[in-house]
Structures are given as C-alpha cells and as structure tokens.
Amino acid sequence: MMTKTTDFSLHLTSFLSRYLPGERGMSTHTISSYRYTFILFLNFMEQRKKTKATKLELVHITRETIVEFLDWLQSERKCSAASGNVRLAALHSFFRFLQYQHPDRMEEWQKILSIKAKKHEKPAIGYLSIDGIKLLLEQPDTTVLKGRRDLALLALMYDCAVRVQEIIDMGPSSIRLDKPYTIKVVGKGNKSRIIPMMEESVIHIKRYIVENNLHEPHLRTSPLFFNSRREKLTRAGVNSILKKYVRIAYQKNPAVIIPAVSCHILRHSKAMHLLQAGVNLVYIRDFLGHESVQTTEIYARTDSKQKREAIEKAYVNVVNKEVPEWIGNHDLLEWLKAFK
C-alpha cells in the first residue's frame, strides 16, 4: 500500500531542494545545516509527540511545538543557546517560506516567527598576531610537494581572509596572476567578490599552479587545492592541515600561538590586522564579503578592548587621590563658615 504524501513533506522538500538553492542562492553548507535541523525536529516529533515523519502534517506544528522542540534540544541534546539559535534561524526561514505557500495558516506562522533567539554571551574574537601568523607559515616543509601546497593554501587563506568553503570551491581560473593580482571568491548566497592579492602570496600560488600544471586550459576548472587523488579538499581536510602546523608552531613558541586555531581565526586575524593598519571598516566589510558593516564592527569593538587593556597597563597615576575635606561634609555652608 502506497504511503500518502503529507503537506509537510511536500513543502519541506520544495524548501530544501528548490527554494534555498534556487531562489535564495544558499550554499550547500547552509542547506546541509538546515537539513540537519529538520532531522532533529522529526526525531523530536517522533520521540515526544509520537508522530512519525510519514504522518506529520503542518497542522501538527504550532508555536508551542517549536518552543518545546528548542527546550528539548537544550535539555536532552545539551545544545548551547548559540546552537539553538542556529536551529531557530532555519525554522524561521522555513515558516517565512510557508507564509506564501500556505497563507491560510498565516497567524500560526507569524506566532512561530515571533519566537526570539536566546541571548547568550558571545566569546571574544580570537586572532593571531602578525608574529603568530609568520611563525605558522614557516612550518610547512617546502622541500616536498605537499608542504608547498600547504603553504600556498594557508598563505592564501590568511591574505585573502577567505572562508573554508570559499577556498575549497576555488578553481585555478579564480586567480589572476598578472598585475593587478586578484582572486575571485564566491561566498555566501553565491555572491562573488574580487579581492586583491599581495605579491608575497602570489609567489607561492604561482609556483604551486605551475608545479601542478593547473595553468593548462583543460585543468582550469579543476579544484585549486586537492588531495592525493586530485579530489577537492573537504572542510575536515583543510582543518586537519591547519591543525598540523598549529601544533608544530605552538611547540616552538606558545607565546605567539594559541593551541586552538581554526580556519576562521585566520580570517579574523587578517581582519584585525587590516583594522589595526588603519583600513576603513567599509573596505574591510567588502574584503570579508559581509552584507552589512554592522557585522564588521565586531572587529572594531574587539580592537577597542585591546587598546583599553594596553592603555591600562601603561597608565601612570598623576591624579591626587586625597579626598577634599568638603566632600565628606554634607553641610557645605557650615563648613565654609567654620573655615578660617
């Protein structure tokens, strides 16, 4: 007997397979994250609500259901508030989509959309100093092919402040190797941006491209960085490469390298170094591919904190701490009369 297709399954399939990649231009990474949110939601509905995925209808979903799901994530799966907010963002996107696909339940969708993200303490942005970056980039063994690939990869990630997925998706055709040196990056929402490359990085990239024959026309669409099978690197693969050299650098000089350096910290580091060099936030926004300068302002706030800490360390007290006698006297007039 054939199982009846539910309205929930129809709309969810359309949302994930057509709306997000087609109309919204979402990256495969974002769509994968959204998909996992609904896997968790289906597990919750089966465990807590005794409703199997094959029977789930839109009418079963209310504001109370979503709130209970978010509480379940925190209590049963030990998700942090930040993780819960990521799941809520995915759900909000789906129910905004449903407002146009299923307007007869608009009131309920708007109730769900009114659920606010939980406040949580955002960790301070971690980043490496210039000395830390220099030490890290000294670690790849450039006498071997893999070491030269790793140096080109890490140097490009830092100099162009690219996201992991952005560098994974790059091909040789993304790079312009004649002056002015630039790289075309396709970021979130399939939006592209052109980033200038510094000559020091170009030296490593050019050598890597020539060495691997990536300048040949038939290889221009192949992955720029690949593994031993000439397959595109994965996120886990790029992170593994970075962590390898972080461990070596940390052993050599723990004063300038933190042990938990992620690919995103390389991006943060470049942004902070641009800011400290006096580059305008608007240019940094475009360099990073942020939609709004408000997103980029987090670097300015972090830098202000660093400046305050430095000022406090260098502070020399020149103010007399002795409290004037009249401050402790509530009757200033009587004090003035008694003064001789």
Q: How far apart are CA 240 and CA 2, in angstroms?
A: 46
Q: Catalytic residue among 127, 245, 250, 299, which? A: 299
Residue 140 and residue 150 in contact, taking contact as beta carbons nearer than 8 Å: yes
10 Å CB burial of residue 132 (0-12, 13-18, 19+) is buried
Q: Catalytic residue among 148, 163, 204, 273, which? A: 163
Q: How far apart are CA 252 and CA 256, in angstroms?
A: 10
Residues ≥6 apart with Cβ < 8 Å to 310: none
Q: How far apart are CA 197 and CA 166, in angstroms?
A: 15
Residue 53 and residue 40 in contact, taking contact as beta carbons nearer than 8 Å: no
User: Is 92 an annotated catalytic residue?
Assistant: no
Q: How far apart are CA 34 and CA 15, in angstroms?
A: 10
According to DSSP, residue 232 is labeled B
User: Is 267 an annotated catalytic residue?
Assistant: yes
User: Is 299 an annotated catalytic residue?
Assistant: yes
Handedness of CA 23, 25, 26, 32 (dihedral sign): positive
Q: Catalytic residue among 11, 35, 55, 188, which? A: 188
Handedness of CA 270, 272, 277, 282 (dihedral sign): positive
Q: How far apart are CA 340 and CA 325, in angstroms?
A: 14
Give me the residues paired with residue 15 across strands: none
Closest CA to 165 of 71, 238, 216: 238
User: Is 330 an annotated catalytic residue?
Assistant: no
Closest CA to 259 of 238, 244, 278: 244
Residues ≥6 apart with Cβ < 8 Å to 340: none
Q: Catalytic residue among 24, 111, 235, 264, which? A: 264
User: Is 149 an annotated catalytic residue?
Assistant: no
Q: Catalytic residue among 267, 268, 270, 285, which? A: 267
User: Is 264 an annotated catalytic residue?
Assistant: yes
Q: How far apart are CA 281 and CA 228, in angstroms?
A: 40
Catalytic positions: 163, 188, 264, 267, 290, 299
